[in-house]
Amino acid sequence: MTPLGRVQTAGVETIEIVMPDGGVAEAYVARPSAERLAAPERRGHGDLPGVLFFMDAIGLRPRIAEMSQQIADWGYVVLAPNLFFREGRAADLAPQRDLTEPGAREEFFALASPRVQRLGAEQAERDIPAYLKALRGLDGVAGGAAGTTGYCMGARLAMRTANLDPGVAAVGGFHGGGLVTDTDDSPHLGLGSARAEFVFGHADQDRSMPPEAVAALGAALTSAGLVASNEIYSGAAHGYTMSDTAMYDEGATERHFAELEALFARRLGPLDGA
């Protein structure tokens, strides 16, 4: 992994990950701020748990760096890879307009949606072990349990990560789409292999995750014997955590951060823990 420089968020750097298919994926790495690590209760605590962050369909950009840093400041090392590395560099795939402007988000997704469709389950399940290996190989990452969180299409990948690797102990999935489908590779069908605790915060009135799919996901989690929260955030639209788009919902975003922080504290340990 080769450092590429820093993005405009304190503590976040960009690295490269050599992928099994021969490509190279950029990834953000976020660590707790110096102020958090210098707290008296942290001295002598050593390495920190790792968290794998799966971006939404818009891609790596300042908002993803910002969210990664917020999670890192809870006491984790966070890796957020460019899931579309086969399509190009993150900067080349980024929106060219302000996605809070009317019509800009829809215009962008006319180009981005085909990329999402091309990242199928087979490709994703080849990529995920490489992301986990990169995370676990970072300086300062403790051995043992890891966590993951995903947004939009990233929620599917967060689920697949836990299904593939029993060392993943905590999974967050927020405004996810396609978590339950009628295909043989639907993410919910692999939950019998997972050992994680799951927290889902679904968007309200989301065509990519309608109420019947939310119910089917809940049934699959129960059947697998997993501890899980599987909630619809009333009034929150798909993409509600993304403050750089017109879909942002501050209340739902803060709820998601609170629930995710509590999940990671339960399963990975808080920064200020003993």
pLDDT at 38: 57
pLDDT at 34: 78
Q: Which amino acid is at 169?
A: A
pLDDT in tens, 214-250: 999 999 999 999 999 999 999 999 999 999 999 999 9
Nearest to 133 by CA among 68, 50, 54: 50
User: With a threshold of 0.75, does the pTM exceed it?
Assistant: yes
Assigned token pair, 33? 């701020």
State how far the Cα of 34 lies from the Cα of 22, in Å rounded to an integer.
35
pLDDT at 269: 87
The secondary structure of 47-99, three-state, reads: CECEEEEECCCCCCCHHHHHHHHHHHCCCCEEEEECCCCCCCCHHHHCCCCCC
State how far the Cα of 177 lies from the Cα of 164, in Å rounded to an integer.
19
User: Considering only the top CATH level, what class is 5-267?
Assistant: alpha beta
Low-confidence residues of the chain: pLDDT under 50: 1-8, 40, 42-44, 273-274
State the average pLDDT for the chain: 92
State how far the Cα of 264 lies from the Cα of 170, in Å rounded to an integer.
6
The label of the residue with tokens 């920190």 reads 48
pLDDT at 46: 76
Cα 227 to Cα 149, 172, 219, 263, 270, distances in angstroms:
16, 12, 12, 11, 19
Cβ-in-10-Å burial (0-12, 13-18, 19+) of 169 comes to buried
Cα 129 to Cα 14, 62, 166, distances in angstroms:
19, 25, 12
